[in-house]
Structure 1
Amino acid sequence: MSVPSSVSFQTLSGDFGPVLGEVARLRLSLFREFPYLYDGTEEAEAAHLQTYVQAPGALLVLARDETAGGRVVGACTAVPLVAEDADFLRAFAAAGIDPATVLYLGEALLEDEYQSRGLGGELLSQVEAHAQALGLPIVAAAMVVRSEDHPQRPRGWRSPSHLLERRGYVMHPELEITLSWQEIGESAPSSKPMRFWVKGLEG
């Protein structure tokens, strides 16, 4: 499916400050939905996004719709895995994958009405091109693990993992870590399992 002509993509590497507020807005809105059910704050978002401001080789791609006043309707972030927490590095090393060879796709965000219109594939293409430019032969993405009968799972919900799998990403059950955040209805953060999808890029 072709991307709507009104949507343009902006690729940033190194100077994210002026647009981080727009990325934080998307994260707070979209991660509040299933499967993350994230009950976040602007302060927590600012702290999280500092990883991408400070890390060498970090990438931010924005999708803007000119018919919506140039509003950011999609975004993705990526960073060399070595800039992430030690838990990430240990999981990959234990699976026999050198963390220094991996670009980590931190998130790929799209407002609901822009999904299934080709934008997700274009965001992934930008990330994969960045990995190749950095000489990193592997891209990895993580998703929270939720049960099929989770009470908050919407009827007819389709996992974003379908897009990853169409693009050649393979789920690795042995690659799993836990991250903590406060879920809607929780009084405090709790640990959630995160599982990785991995793609090796052709040279």
Structure 2
Amino acid sequence: MAKNIRIERWSGAALEQFIPELARLRIEVFRDFPYLYDGNIDYEKKYLQTYIDCPESVIVIAFDGDTVVGASTAIPMKYETDELKKPFIEQGYDLDEVFYCSESVLNKAYRGLGIGVKFFEQREAHAESLGGFKHICFCCVERPVDHPRRPIDYVPLDQFWNKRGYVKHPELDTIYIWKDLDDVDETPKPMTFWLKNER
């Protein structure tokens, strides 16, 4: 990692000071494939408020000096939306035993420096510090291979996730709705979960 980068875990009301930067970064990063998210600041601030309000949540923040260049969120599944909880309930999981790694966003200039690995390590360490979790998971959007906005050089992160110990679970899937770039209306997007069992 670059010597000026530091990674810190933040929770609760102390996050308030970073909300504008985190919202801006999420909108910037999620515009790219595969999310193609046409976001807005008001929605992002409301979304991030969930992590401020939940004492068991965490946001791992990457700083270059005093500048926020990346962030990664996580929260116990029991505090998440019904859309996310539904497949786990249907498959018989105890939500109290599932820890959800929400998203990681990182400025393009800082990719390839090992920050993504640190994001997973810090979120998993937070889950361990809380105790009681048997599963750690995240989900990602499923886009068709012939999607018109798919970059020619796009490489899915499957191998990276496998190296971190996560396995794709097609039986754990859900639908999320958002507005793609260039679209007029919001449309449903299929999402699939990846799961790692705690030792």
TM-score tier, shorter chain, comes to over 0.9
The corresponding residue for 2:179 is 182
Q: Aligned to 2:75, which of 75, 79, 91? A: 79
Residue identity matched to 1:47: K
Asked whether the 8 Å contact 1:131–1:138 carries over to 2, the reply is: no
Any gaps of 5 or more consecutive residues in structure 2? Answer: none
Matched, 1:92 2:88: yes
C-alpha contact (below 8 Å) 2:83/2:176 kept by paired residues: no
Scaled by the length of structure 1, the TM-score of the pair is 0.93
Aligned to 1:110: 106
Give the C-alpha shift of residue 172 in structure 1.
0.4
What is the aligned counterpart of 2:6 among 5, 8, 27? 8
Q: How many residues align?
A: 197
**In the aligned structure 1, how far is the partner of 2:110 from the partner of 2:134?**
29
Among the aligned pairs, what percent are the same residue? 37
TM-score normalised to structure 2 length: 0.95
Hey, what does 1:192 align to over in structure 2? 189
Hey, what's the Cα distance between the residues in 1 that align with 2:154 and 2:51? 30
Give CA-to-partner distance per residue, 1:63-85, whole Å, 9 cap, x none: 0112xxx2111110101101111
Q: What is the SS of the residue equivalent to 2:12?
A: coil
Q: CA deviation at 1:17?
A: 0.7
Confirm whether residue 201 of structure 1 aligns to residue 194 of structure 2.
no
Alpha carbons of structure 1 residues 26 and 160: separation in structure 2 relative to 1, 3 Å: farther
Residue 167 in 1 paired to residue 164 in 2?
yes
Work out whether residues 131 and 137 of structure 1, in 8 Å CA contact, stay in contact via their aligned partners in 2: no
**1:127 positional shift:** 0.3
How many Å separate the matches in 2 of 1:149 and 1:94? 31
Structure 1 gap ranges (5+): none
After alignment, is 110-119 or 32-41 more displaced?
110-119
Q: 2: distance between equivalents of 1:61 and 1:144?
A: 22
1:23 equivalent to 2:19? Answer no
Give the C-alpha shift of residue 188 in structure 1.
1.5
Query: What's the offset of the Cα at 1:95?
Result: 2.0
Task: Name which of structure 1's ranges 70-79 and 119-128 shifts more when overlaid on structure 2.
Answer: 70-79
- Cα deviation, residue 101, structure 1: 0.7
